[in-house]
Amino acid sequence: MRGFFYASYALPAFYGGGLSYNPDMVDTQFIIKARWVIPMDADQTLLEQHAILVDGGQIRAIVPKTEIPEWAADWAVVDCSQHAVIPGLINLHAHSSMNLLKGYADDYALMPWLNEHIWPAEQRWVSKSFVHDGSLLACAEMLSGGVTTFNDMYFFPQATIEAVKRAGMRVQVGLVITEFPTNYAATASDYIRLGTDVRDQYKSDEHISFAFAPHAPYTVSNQTFEYIATLAEQLNLGIHTHLHETQAEIQQSLEQFGVRPLQRLLALGVIGPNTVLAHGVHLETNELETLSIQGAHIAHCPCSNLKLASGVAPVAAALRAGVNVGLGTDGAASNNRIDLWQEIRTAALLAKVADQNAASLPAYQALEMATIRAARALGLQEKVGSITVGKQADLVAVKLDDLNSLPCFDPISHLVYVASREQVTQTWVNGQLCYQRTPDGQMQFAQMEVEELRSIALQWQLKMQS
């Protein structure tokens, strides 16, 4: 029966309405038979006509389609005969709940955009329910585009966790900290206390990891940064912060601290192998070397950086310098698609112009940034980020035979330069089918109803328009 469900794209009945997974699903054994399997390994392997055997949420074997071992002979089969199967995509910089601010204000210069639109809206609307609902919508958008893990930063992180658990995804939760009072907390120590409380509550959840998220160099004091660095080391947590997003940020730091932000954060002990730096638009050669030596990671957000006129990050140069770079969408207020395919394509295109070389950031490297490189940035490289025996089965099937994708000489080129998120037909997290696009083009989630999500979005829209 399970075979039938998978083959026909219908979700098993017990997937329907509940809020927690049926534990049976975790143990489901199934085989994905794919036209192409793209493991994203160091050898840039491309497997044709291969099968992935998933067992108890893990990848148990990868074999030619025609060589299914006997012990799996009666496993359910998922037909991906026109698809490339890739590792689940990882969104390395998100403010998921800002999905409710999608298109709320566009085409403003950065400071009027923040001062006159985004911050007042946040002050008025941000609450636990705003964060939950916005995060839930973002999870749906991400799953429908093949994202299985994201690195978040926002207020009321517990509300985001609840949404993520319902969606069935993985998340690294950024415990946000600023010196400024918001609806969520009043002082830096409040933010830290609230954050560590949430972390304590969920620390044994296998799908959830935590980082401290001091917001940015211009919103967090030296003292707080230093304290966070110490605390992160003690608790073995990551650090997720914005860095060198705009020239104005750098200018302000030079005026206030006499050094550029990276130099300041380095001195404060914030920059290391557990640090993810969002944006990194303005980085000089010596700064790339510093990041490489420190083993810190960049979350490159090409679309957001263009939309806010922040600049074009030197991604190809960063990779050459040995810095690990992943891709992020940023929040929906400055993107406005939470669509990693757009980031992959834009990153690959933009790097060529920035580097004045059409050979820079070739397709495979761009895909790495959305998968294994991002996993490495989150310290999850032993668990996800590639299709490897023993890793968790975070997998995405992308249909490559639609008319607009033909002819297809190279599936990797098409994934980067042609594919839309609409071509994602299935997204598995930990071997669980969390999303599928049915053959009649409808979105279907394991534990969320599309009509309910639509109604949530429309209710907020009405409220915020009034």
> Which residues make up the interface to its own copies (CB under 8 A)?
100, 102-104, 106-110, 113, 137, 140-141, 144, 303, 305-312, 335-339, 346, 349-350, 352-353, 355-360, 362-363, 401, 403-404, 406-410, 413-414, 417-418, 420-422, 439-443, 450, 453-454, 457-458, 460-461, 464-465
* Three-state SS sequence of 151-166: EEEECCHHHHHHHHHH
Which residue in 304, 234, 309 sits closest to 274, CA to CA? 234
75 vs 150, which CB is nearer to its own copies? 150
207 vs 337, which CB is nearer to its own copies? 337
254 vs 349, which CB is nearer to its own copies? 349
Q: What are the strands, taking DSSP E only, across 322-461?
A: 324-327, 395-399, 424-429, 432-437, 443-445
Q: Do the Cβ atoms of 304 and 280 come closer than 8 Å?
A: no
Give least dist CB 66 to its own copies, A: 22
For residue 300, what is the enclosing H or E element?
strand 297-300
Q: Do the Cβ atoms of 33 and 81 come closer than 8 Å?
A: yes
Dist. CA 192–CA 197, nearest whole Å: 8
For residue 224, what is the enclosing H or E element?
helix 222-235
62 vs 308, which CB is nearer to its own copies? 308
61 vs 418, which CB is nearer to its own copies? 418
271 vs 338, which CB is nearer to its own copies? 338
Dist. CA 37–CA 50, nearest whole Å: 6
Dist. CA 239–CA 23, nearest whole Å: 33
Please, which residues have CB within 8 angstroms of residue 31's CB and are 6 or more apart in sequence? Answer: 51, 52, 53, 54, 68, 72, 75, 76, 77, 78
Judged on CB neighbours under 10 Å (0-12, 13-18, 19+), 45 is middle
Give least dist CB 293 to its own copies, A: 29
Local structure of 379: helix, strand or coil: coil
133 vs 394, which CB is nearer to its own copies? 133
86 vs 375, which CB is nearer to its own copies? 86
Give least dist CB 367 to its own copies, A: 12
Give least dist CB 416 to its own copies, A: 8
Give least dist CB 188 to its own copies, A: 29
Give least dist CB 336 to its own copies, A: 4
Quote the DSSP letter at residue 336: S
Give least dist CB 281 to its own copies, A: 10
Give least dist CB 294 to its own copies, A: 28
Count of CB atoms within 10 A of residue 462's CB?
9
